[in-house]
Amino acid sequence: MPPLSLLDLVPVTLGSTPADALHRSLDLARAADHLGYTRYWVAEHHNMTGIASAATSVVIGYLAQGTSAIRVGAGGVMLPNHSPLVIAEQFGTLESLYPGRIDLGLGRAPGTDSLTALALRTDPRAADRFAQDVQELQALFEPAQEGQKIRAVPGAGLRVPLWILGSSLYGAQLGAALGLPYAFASHFAPQALHSALQVYRSTFRPSAQCSKPHAMVGLNVIAAETDDEARHLFTSQQQAFTNMVRNRRGLFPPPIDDIEAYWTPEEKHHAQGMLACSIVGSLQSVRAGLQRFIEETQADELMIVSAVFDPAERRRSIELIAEAAGLEPRTLT
């Protein structure tokens, strides 16, 4: 079984606040730390009432301070929204405070809608410079050279590990060309998964960071004591994706008894397409599903999304997933 990591969107559930969401994410990160997960990532989204991780580097610092061994990082920072220098300084600061535990995943999308992108002062052409900005960021993490006029302080010489994120062939091609690990967002955009993995692996060029390809694959997993209970919990995520289809994002909803009464056939088709890479069930069902998915993708690592409304049931879900995957719990000091 390859390593398992967790992606947390820091969901603001119906009836709660962003502060509640952040505190609950720290509780979950501490549980993941103990259970033996490799990484705990949060993602940059803006102007979304149901996601509390907009200030991504701040959230990472909060989670890293409250955990001991698990790597904490961005899955990811939307680089077109920022200058490479600012990101190098932010993540250089995090690496200085929590050495050997910080990851920096980079995305090309704005992480929001076009109107909010304007509010972020994002240049509409910034995504076209993504490859150059990634290389500039790489250079800022290298040791400073004599006479170098622009330095990331802190950041220079720290070589924070970079990841390329994507849901299309573009990210696969860039990750391969730069010799960086690649994370595919199949937990919400699975259509190009297999072709992207093929392109990434077949065109990979070794680098100082990676001597061989390393493909992380996103996967929704919800585990409970029984298959029926897990399917019930999954209706929260199914509602959330239906709301995306309706262009009515909001707070993360509680589960319901009859999802068929919630969505139309067309909405069901679209939501299920986005959620095609999902494993939902009991310990035994999840174990079998993980084995099948790994055989199909040959993933080097899995990035698990376990979107459950109730914090206690969410924690139980990641406990069962860890057991299904055979993770070794850590003894933390």
Q: Give mean pLDDT in consecutive 10-residue pieces for the chain, a chain of 333 residues.
A: 96 98 98 98 95 97 98 96 96 98 93 76 83 97 92 96 96 98 97 98 97 98 98 98 94 98 97 98 98 98 98 98 97 80
Q: Is residue 331 in a domain?
A: no
> What pLDDT is stored for residue 125 in this prediction?
81
Q: Is residue 226 in a domain?
A: yes
Separation between Cα atoms, residue 249 and residue 113, nearest integer Å: 12
Q: Is residue 333 in a domain?
A: no
**How many CB atoms are closer than 10 A to CB 68?**
14
> What pLDDT is stored for residue 127 in this prediction?
84
Q: Which two tokens stand for residue 85?
A: 């220098």
Q: Which domain holds residue 21?
A: 4-325
Handedness of CA 7, 81, 88, 108 (dihedral sign): positive
Q: Is residue 77 in a domain?
A: yes
Is the omega angle on the peptide bond into residue 154 within 30 degrees of 0, that is, cis? yes
Q: Please, are residues 63 and 40 in contact by the beta-carbon 8 Å criterion?
A: yes
**Domain harbouring 242, CATH code:** 3.20.20.30
**How many CB atoms are closer than 10 A to CB 171?**
26
Q: Is residue 330 in a domain?
A: no
Helix count and strand count (H, E) for the chain: 11, 9
Q: Is residue 198 in a domain?
A: yes
pTM (2 d.p.): 0.96
> What pLDDT is stored for residue 60 in this prediction?
98
Number of compact structural domains in the chain = 1
Q: Is residue 62 in a domain?
A: yes
> What pLDDT is stored for residue 111 in this prediction?
61
Q: Is residue 219 in a domain?
A: yes
